[in-house]
Amino acid sequence: MAGFAIRDPKGELVHPYQWKAGSEYQAVEPNGGYFGICVDNQFSRFAAKLVNIYITTFKYEEWEKFSSEWEDFNVSGENCTRILHGVDVRIQEILQHQQMSRSREARDFNLLLDNGVYVQYWSLAQCTVIVSAFVVQVYFVKRLFETNNGGRSKI
C-alpha cells in the first residue's frame, strides 16, 4: 500500500491522494507540460516497498504518421519477430565465441604462470649447482697450492 497523487501542468490536482495498492491515471493534455507525481509511504516508514512507475507519452498525430510509415515499409509483426530472432541467435553465437575466448585466455594465462614457475625452479637449481661447483673448485685449487712443511722449520 502507498499513497498516490498527480498534478497536471497547470498545478491542479487531477488525481487526488489515495492510499491503495495500485493506481492508474490517464490524461490527454493538448498543450503538454510537466506533471507532478507523488508516491507516499508515510504509514509504513520502516517497511520496504517496490514501486513501479510506467509513464507513456506520445502524440496521436505522430503515432498515426509512424504507423503509416510502418505500413509503407511493409513491416509486419511477424517480420520484426523473425528479424529479432535472427539478431538473438547471432548475439548468442557472439557470446559463445566470447566465452570460448575467455576460457582460452584463462588456459593460456595458467600455462604462462606454470611455465614461469618451472623456469624459475630450474634456474635456481642451476644457480645452486654453479655456486656449489665454484666453492668446490676454489677449495681444491687452494689445497693444491698448500704446502706442508711437516712441522719443522729450516733456518
- In sequence order, the 6+-apart residues with CB closer than 8 A to the CB of 11 are none
pLDDT tens, position by position, 124-147: 999 999 999 999 999 999 998 888
Is residue 37's pLDDT more than 80? yes
117-148 per-residue burial string, b: 16 or more CB within 10 A, e: under 16: eeeeeeeeeeeeeeeeeeeeeeeeeeeeeeee
Instruction: Find where cell 584463462 sits.
Output: 106
pTM over 0.75: no
- Residue 76: predicted pLDDT: 63
Instruction: Find where cell 665454484 sits.
Output: 134
